Amino acid sequence: MASEVCQHIDAVTDVKQAKARRCEECVKIGARWLHLRTCQSCGATLCCDSSPNRHATKHATSSGHPVVASAEPGERWLYCYPDDQMAEY
């Protein structure tokens, strides 16, 4: 990992990939999503800020899990919510 990023992203050594390509919370409520993010603390796959329900952001806020990875095909980056930092891997 690059040294320019925050400690949260720095602590991610093995990037968790999405187990299933769907937002776990949207599925429960029958909602739609746009893009998917995978929490690097617990592995939950949730929807991005462009989705109506913004489950990944809600999860980061409520659980304190700081870092998500993009779960979109071909995208290889991590994002830290508390530090607003993004890093490719």
Interface residues with Zn ion (CB under 5 A)? 6, 8, 23, 25-26, 33, 39, 41-42, 44, 47, 53, 55, 65, 80, 83
Q: How far is the CB of 7 from Zn ion (least distance, A)?
A: 6
Nearer to Zn ion, 63 or 75 (CB): 63
For tokens 């690097």, the residue is 40
* Min separation Cβ 28 and Zn ion, Å: 9
CA distance 89 to 68: 12
Q: Which one, 33 or 75, has the nearer CB to Zn ion?
A: 33
Nearer to Zn ion, 67 or 75 (CB): 67
35 within 8 A of 11, measured Cβ to Cβ: no
Distance CA 57, CA 29 (A): 17
Minimum CB separation of residue 17 from Zn ion in Å reads 14
Q: How far is the CB of 45 from Zn ion (least distance, A)?
A: 9
